[in-house]
A and B are shown apart, each in its own frame.
Chain A
Amino acid sequence: MPDFDNEEQFSKIIKDACEPAAPSPEFQSRLNNLVSSEAGRHSIRTPRRPWASPLVWASTALAAALILLSLVLWYQPSGQSPLVIPEPSTSPVSTPTPETTPSTEPTSGPSPTPSVEPSATPSAEPSPTPTMLASTGTLQIKVTDAPPEREVYSILVTLSNIRVYRESDEADGEGEWITVIEEPVSFDLIFLKENGVEQILGDAEIDIGYYTQIRMDITEVEAVVEGEEEVIFPSEVLKTAGEFEIEEGKTTTLLFDFDAAKSLVFTGEGKVMFKPVVKLIVTGPE
Chain B
Amino acid sequence: MTDALNVNNIEGNIEQELSERLRNGDAGAVEDLFTSYFRQVYSVIFHAVGRNRPVAEDITQDTFLSATKSVSRFKGNSKPYTWLLSIAHHKIADYYRRLERERRHETRNLEPSTGNQYELPDDSAPLHSRLETEETNDIVTQALGKLPHHYREVLIYKYVEEMPVKQISQIMGKSPKSIEALLTRARNILKSELDKVNEG
Contact = CB atoms under 8 A, between A and B. Distances in A.
Interface string A148-167: 00010110101000000000
- Sort chain B's interface into a size bin: 35 or more
Nearest to B46: A21
- Sort chain A's interface into a size bin: 35 or more
A22 B39 contact: yes
A187 B173 contact: yes
A212 interface: no
B174 A21 contact: no
Given A16-B136, A21-B43, A106 B77 contact: yes
B93 A186 contact: yes
A101 B31 contact: no
B75 A194 contact: no
Contacts of B144: 14, 17-18
Interface string A8-52: 001101111111111110011001101110111011000000000
Given A13-B136, A106-B77, A21 B93 contact: no
A188 B43 contact: no
B61 A103 contact: no
Interface stretch (B1-9, B10-18, B64-72): B64-72
Contacts of A283: none
Contacts of A110: none
Given A186-B90, A191-B173, A21 B56 contact: yes
B146 to A, nearest CB: 13
A279 to B, nearest CB: 22
A100 interface: yes
Contacts of A156: 173-174
29 contacts: A1-B131, A2-B131, A10-B159, A14-B156, A14-B160, A16-B136, A17-B141, A17-B144, A21-B47, A21-B51, A21-B56, A22-B39, A28-B39, A34-B61, A38-B65, A42-B27, A42-B68, A100-B73, A103-B73, A104-B75, A105-B75, A105-B78, A106-B170, A153-B178, A156-B174, A184-B94, A188-B173, A224-B174, A224-B182
Interface of B: 26-28, 30-31, 34, 38-40, 42-43, 46-47, 51, 56-57, 60-61, 64-71, 73-75, 77-78, 82-83, 86-87, 90, 93-94, 97, 127-128, 131, 136-137, 140-141, 144, 155-156, 159-160, 169-170, 173-175, 177-178, 181-182, 185, 187, 191, 194
